[in-house]
Each structure stands twice: as structure tokens, then as C-alpha cells.
């Protein structure tokens, strides 16, 4: 038996899998952008409002989905909604120090970047660095991926990645930062801490997530 909530959940899932919001899906199908708004799924009297067969037909035509695929979305709608996924620029940490990899603001630049799927991150400028070898052990190991957020506020105790004006890439723990100096602690016994003048640093950003 078809249920009201399952039909709307299927429309939402179809839109998500095509990288669209419900409103954007409606526009692509040539419908009013508000056709699939959540506020229109229930009438003012509290009765369920169903999408029309015409609107569903237009949606299937616009996305290229078959009726069978849409029924599959309906059957799967009993589970939790899909987690939003986006992609992040990715480069190896060993290559991150190469000239031209970042711009002056510390954002990805050049053509050496790959991409990985990743759950939605609020910072649209976030990127990922993949560890190779044992240079960052014991905290980070070969294959670990660090997600860096250039716009995140940096606080004492945060793990950060920074690049010096000479092109050296460092992963450290922030101890103290003033207008003149940045004091950094080692992330593991083999690695010394650093005390750098701010004019020696090109950029510094917070590590917000690591796959381990």
C-alpha cells in the first residue's frame, strides 16, 4: 500500500541523488518551485496532499528515472534519509608543499588535486590531505585523511596544518598564538615543537576531522 510519507520521501531521495533540492527538482521539471515544498504536503486543514501523477511524470522525464526506479525509492523510504554527501579537494600531504598547490590565502589551487566524497561540511573551502608513509606517526598513519577548514576559528589545543613562506608544511598542535608569534607543540615524540614568527607563516588552518 502506498503511503503519503513514502511518496514524498521518494521525491526527496530522487532529488538528492541528482544533487538537487526539492525546489530545484520542481524547477527542472518545469513546475512551480514550491510544488514540492514541505509546507504544501499537508493542507491547512491538516489533510494529506498528494503529488499529482502529472507532476510525477514530469519529474521522471526531467531526471531520466524510470517508474521502476521511483518505486524503488518508495520501497527504501522506510529507512533513514540519506546523509548529504559532497566532495572535497584531495591531495597527498607530501605533495601539499609543492609550489602552486595553494594560493596566497591557503586555498587549493593548481591541477594536482583529486576529489573524495565526504559528508557535507559547512566550510565550502574545506579540503583534504592524505598522509603517506610514517612522517606523521604516531598520531597520523599512512592512509589517514585529514580534513582542513580554512575558515574555522583556531583555538589553543587545536591540531593545525600550516605552511611557511619557504614552503614547509607542518602538522602541529597550537599552544599559543599572538600578533607576533605562533607557538606549536609536537604531535608525537619524534617531532619537535616549533616557535615561529607570524611573518614566517604563509597560512594556518584547523584540522577538523581525521579518518583513523
Looking up residue 205, the CATH number of its domain turns out to be 2.10.109.10
Cα–Cα dist 34/119, whole Å: 27
Of 76, 101, 128, the position where a domain reaches its end is 76
Whether residue 171 is found in the same domain as residue 107? yes
Whether residue 193 is found in the same domain as residue 138? yes
Whether residue 165 is found in the same domain as residue 62? no
Whether residue 127 is found in the same domain as residue 175? yes
Q: Is residue 81 part of a domain?
A: no
Q: Is residue 129 part of a domain?
A: yes
Lowest mean pLDDT among 7-11, 38-42, 77-81, 154-158: 77-81
Whether residue 39 is found in the same domain as residue 144? no
Of 76, 98, 125, the position where a domain reaches its end is 76
Residue among 141, 173, 135 nearest 157 (CA): 173
How many domains is the chain built from? 2
Whether residue 163 is found in the same domain as residue 108? yes
Lowest mean pLDDT among 13-17, 98-102, 129-133: 13-17
Choose from 74-78, 105-109, 191-195 the range with maximum mean pLDDT.
105-109
Whether residue 65 is found in the same domain as residue 93? no
Whether residue 24 is found in the same domain as residue 126? no
Mean pLDDT, the chain, as a whole number?
86
Q: Is residue 82 part of a domain?
A: no
Question: What pLDDT was estimated at residue 46?
Answer: 81
Of 12, 41, 76, the position where a domain reaches its end is 76
Whether residue 63 is found in the same domain as residue 168? no
Whether residue 91 is found in the same domain as residue 193? yes
Q: Which domain holds residue 12?
A: 4-76
Looking up residue 10, the CATH number of its domain turns out to be 1.10.260.40
Whether residue 42 is found in the same domain as residue 93? no
pTM to 2 decimal places:
0.59
Cα–Cα dist 174/186, whole Å: 9
Whether residue 104 is found in the same domain as residue 203? yes
Band of pLDDT at residue 164, cut at 50, 70 and 90 = very high
Lowest mean pLDDT among 49-63, 78-92, 140-154, 191-205: 78-92
Amino acid at each position: 500500500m502506498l503511503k503519503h510519507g513514502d511518496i514524498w520521501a521518494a521525491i526527496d531521495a530522487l532529488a538528492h541523488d541528482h544533487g538537487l533540492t526539492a525546489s530545484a527538482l520542481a524547477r527542472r521539471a518545469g513546475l512551480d518551485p514550491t510544488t514540492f515544498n514541505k509546507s504544501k504536503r499537508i493542507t491547512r486543514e491538516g489533510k494529506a496532499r498528494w503529488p499529482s501523477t502529472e507532476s510525477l511524470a514530469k519529474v521522471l522525464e526531467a531526471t531520466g528515472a524510470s517508474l521502476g526506479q521511483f518505486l524503488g525509492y518508495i520501497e527504501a523510504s522506510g529507512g533513514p534519509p540519506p546523509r548529504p554527501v559532497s566532495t572535497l579537494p584531495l591531495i597527498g600531504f607530501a605533495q601539499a608543499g609543492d609550489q602552486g598547490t595553494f594560493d596566497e590565502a591557503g586555498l587549493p589551487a593548481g591541477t594536482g588535486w583529486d576529489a573524495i566524497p565526504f559528508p557535507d561540511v559547512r566550510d565550502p573551502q574545506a579540503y583534504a590531505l592524505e598522509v603517506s608513509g610514517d612522517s606523521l606517526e604516531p598520531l597520523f598513519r599512512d592512509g589517514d585523511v585529514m580534513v582542513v577548514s580554512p575558515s574555522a576559528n583556531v583555538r589553543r589545543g587545536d591540531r593545525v596544518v600550516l605552511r611557511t613562506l619557504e614552503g614547509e608544511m607542518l602538522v602541529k598542535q597550537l599552544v599559543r598564538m599572538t600578533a607576533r608569534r605562533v607557538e606549536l607543540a609536537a604531535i608525537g615524540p619524534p617531532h619537535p615543537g616549533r616557535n615561529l614568527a607570524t611573518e614566517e607563516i604563509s597560512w594556518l588552518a584547523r584540522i577538523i576531522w581525521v579518518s583513523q
